[in-house]
Amino acid sequence: MDVFKCIKTRRSVRKYLDKELPWDLVSKVIDAGRLAPSAGNLQNWKFIAVLDKARRIKVAEACLQQTWMSKAPVHIVVVSEPKVSERYYGTRGDRLYSVQNCAVAAQNMLLRAHDLGLGACWVGAFDERMLGKAVRLPEGVRAQIVITLGFPAEKVAEPAKYPLENVTYFNGWRGKIRDVPHYMGYHSIKVQHGLHKGKAAIKKQSKKLAKKTKEVAEKIKESIKEKNKKRQDLKKFKKIHGLKK
């Protein structure tokens, strides 16, 4: 699938078919996580595939009772080893990079899952201690994200997202530009409104045109009918009066 199409059509899926997920697909998803960028390429992450049902129930409980999660045939718990990045980058490595590394790996996995026709959801609401216990995390290893994975059993509608011009500033905080349509093109709501108006006007005009064409066609039909009738009448008249054809 085209990358942007994949990004645009991905949804958080929370309903899954009661069907096992072949390991081949799970490994493909994890592989996409493995290839993500990481600060200093330290890759201080691990991906714990939870396949066992009883353990998935424990994971769902740790995720503040999000019971829908246990219906997913696979959970991937993304965990970080913050000490590894702390060694190189200090507090920033510990607090920030280790989290960001896992986040970018998780997004890679969500996109790969979607590309493979699977449903997935990022779960960030959990009791860290409970989740750590559920997947036996040792001291110093932190759970960052749980990804639920399975064959989708729902078609999720496109959630509302802010338009490009609402989330883009130029050259600094709150920096705006005058020529929004030029910079934002089709993504600009102004342009989209313009296009929408244009489309509506074309629709209205083509409706009018269709009506007019129908009327003219009707008139032509009527006049042909009338001509034919006159011809028939003339024929009849000539016949009655023995006139030549």
Q: Rounded CA gap, 18 and 30, in Å?
A: 21
Q: Is residue 185 part of the contact set for ligand FMN (CB under 6 A)?
A: no
Q: Sign (positive/negative) of CA torsion 134, 136, 142, 143? A: negative
Q: Min. distance of Cβ 102 from ligand FMN in angstroms?
A: 11
Query: How many residues make contact with ligand FMN (CB under 6 A)?
Result: 11
Backbone angles phi, psi at 146, to 5 degrees: -115, 135
* Residues 54-93: x where in contact with ligand FMN by CB under 6 A, - otherwise, as a string: ------------x---------------------------
According to CB under 6 A, which residues from 105 to 124 bind ligand FMN? 121-124
Query: Residue holding tokens 């009707």?
Result: 218
* Residues 14-53: x where in contact with ligand FMN by CB under 6 A, - otherwise, as a string: x---------------------------------------
Instruction: Characterize the bridge pairing of strands 74-80 and 142-150.
Output: antiparallel
Give which of 115, 147, 118 is closest to 131, Cα–Cα. 147
Q: Is residue 128 part of the contact set for ligand FMN (CB under 6 A)?
A: no
**For residue 74, which amino acid is it?**
V
**H-assigned helices in the chain:** 3-9, 23-34, 53-62, 82-91, 98-115, 128-134, 164-167, 180-184, 189-240
Q: Which is nearer to ligand FMN, 30 or 59 (CB)?
A: 59
* Residues 189-228: x where in contact with ligand FMN by CB under 6 A, - otherwise, as a string: ----------------------------------------
Query: Residue holding tokens 């829908």?
Result: 68
The closest residue (CB) to ligand FMN is: 124
Q: Is residue 99 part of the contact set for ligand FMN (CB under 6 A)?
A: no
| Interface with ligand FMN (CB under 6 A) | 11-12, 14, 66, 121-125, 156, 159
